Structure 1
Amino acid sequence: MENRNPDRATESCLVLMLKSPGRSKQRLAASIGPLAAIAAEHLCYCAFEDMAAWPGPVCFAPADEHDGGWLAARISPADAVVPQRGRNLGERINHVNRTLRMRGFERQIFIGIDCPELDERYLEQAADALGDHDVVLGPALDGGVVLMGVRHEWPDLGELAWSSTRLMADLEQFCNALGWRMARLAPLADVDTFEDLDALKRVVGEDARPARRALGAWLANDGHRPETQP
């Protein structure tokens, strides 16, 4: 899907769902230990880059009070912050979605820190799709999603298969059952495993954005490989 109207980005709120680096990327931590927190911090700053470049409203959604404290030291006080609430990611998205709608933000695009391939063009394509569709999904290559956009209130998402390889398929079935018009963007890679992280060398190696350059340099120096650590 090619973006047709970049001005629609100003009508959509870009929402970043995140945990602080020390509490995120647990699957990655199982293979590279404490280095996962360094990787997660790089990924957070890549996502912050996306938020800073967004021409419309932005919202940060920390997972809990600790994550909110970590975040507050790194973003502008003017940025909107909506703490997450719920037992799983679906319920947490529901809570943030309802809260933002009460604040007047009808169109919302949810992202996480897992996909440094995201760029302004991809995000603007999502915003453009919400002009003609009820929902837009950005698939991950592993069967999950890297982006979820909606122009309504999400129904209960709590029972979907979060953190699974069938999430994208379940979301498509869920939206079809609602009769919603759905747009699907090109699939992108996300980062859950060491292999995913290692593959980013090819993705971010030529990216001009500063946080991506920093991530690429860390990976190029094998900073993510436990066996290279002193």
Structure 2
Amino acid sequence: MNNNSSPVIMMDEMALVLVCKRPALGVGKQRLAVSLGMERAHQIAQALLACALEDAKNWNGPVVIAPASEEDHGWATTLLPSSMSVWTQPQTIGNLGQRLNELDSRLRYEGLKQLVYIGSDAPILAHTDYAACRAALQHYDTVLIPATDGGVVLMASCNPWPVLADLPWSTDQLGAALIGCCRSAGQSVAVLEQRSDVDELEDCLELVTLLQHDARPARRQLHALACAIAYTLRIHHVQF
């Protein structure tokens, strides 16, 4: 495993794994880019990543940053303070299921046992969600927080994931398929309250309301960006 600062980690600690892409023009959030243009989509991607990193900074335990490729290893090592227990483990090739299986296998090989996976597109996740996940993982093998669009925004387990390659990734059937896959593998599964993620223009505009009272700094910046986008669309009489 690649690490930033050779942290001393108790392997029975619960680790947060941030699976992310390096924000770049024309990379990621392409559905938003169709509606808002590449520059705005890039700004949103950066703001969303900042929210996920905000959660990582507040995580009570080790953190793993899993960038999309080995080329982004150096970038990933700069995302969090060196004083934290942060490891960097780039993803391999394949679809998301294959990459998660390989990543999970590598982390467990290093001795980590309780792994909580998040992406960078669910800024609504709050301390209460992470606390609920921690509590549930003491009684269940696997804990999932479903997304309102049928996907998932958090997936945690004390056990290796079953084969995920054939699941319907990036569809509204993913959440149900993942639950079924884990249960078929003999794992007990806790499904927590669903949360929204940001993939479409409508998701971005909902942040105006959803983050209205969120005091976390990165969320305030994302809220301001969502408000600016909503205002621009209104003055141009864009229907949404």
The residue that corresponds to 1:211 in the other structure is 218
Answer whether contact 1:218 1:224 (CA < 8 A) is retained.
no
Task: Note if 1:107 corresponds to 2:132.
Answer: no
Answer whether contact 2:32 2:201 (CA < 8 A) is retained.
yes
CA distance in structure 1 between the partners assigned to 2:71 and 2:22 by the alignment: 8
Matched to 2:33, the amino acid is: A
Matched to 1:28, the amino acid is: L
The residue that corresponds to 1:144 in the other structure is 151
- How far residue 127 of structure 1 moved from its aligned partner, in angstroms, is 1.7
- How far residue 227 of structure 1 moved from its aligned partner, in angstroms, is 8.5
Alignment of 1:146-161 (within 5 A): 146-161=153-168
Alignment of 1:1-230 (within 5 A): 11-22=13-24, 23-34=27-38, 35-77=40-82, 79-222=86-229, 225=232
Look up the SS of the partner of 2:229 in the other structure: coil
> Which one scores higher on RCO, CA 8 angstroms, separation ≥ 6?
1
Answer whether contact 2:143 2:157 (CA < 8 A) is retained.
yes
Residue range with higher mean Cα deviation, 197-206 or 218-227: 218-227
Output the aligned Cα RMSD.
1.9
Matched to 1:169, the amino acid is: A
CA distance in structure 1 between the partners assigned to 2:234 and 2:208 by the alignment: 18
Matched to 1:21, the amino acid is: P
Q: 1:129 to 1:208 in 2, by over 3 A?
A: same
List, as ranges, runs of 4+ consecutive aligned residues in structure 1 with deviation greater than 6 Å: 226-229
Q: Gaps (5+ residues) in structure 2? A: 1-11
- How far residue 221 of structure 1 moved from its aligned partner, in angstroms, is 2.4
CA distance in structure 2 between the partners assigned to 1:190 and 1:132 by the alignment: 26
- How far residue 71 of structure 1 moved from its aligned partner, in angstroms, is 2.6
Answer whether contact 1:32 1:226 (CA < 8 A) is retained.
no
- How far residue 217 of structure 1 moved from its aligned partner, in angstroms, is 1.4
CA distance in structure 2 between the partners assigned to 1:169 and 1:113 by the alignment: 21
CA distance in structure 1 between the partners assigned to 2:122 and 2:14 by the alignment: 20
Matched residues, percent identical?
Answer: 40
Provide, for residues 184-215 of structure 1, a one-character-per-residue CA deviation record: whole Å limited to 9, x for no partner. 01011110001100101111121110000111
The residue that corresponds to 1:7 in the other structure is none
Look up the SS of the partner of 1:46 in the other structure: helix
Q: 1:61 to 1:166 in 2, by over 3 A?
A: same
Q: 1:68 to 1:228 in 2, by over 3 A?
A: farther
TM-score, normalization: structure 2? 0.86
- How far residue 67 of structure 1 moved from its aligned partner, in angstroms, is 3.5
Look up the SS of the partner of 1:136 in the other structure: strand
- How far residue 100 of structure 1 moved from its aligned partner, in angstroms, is 1.1
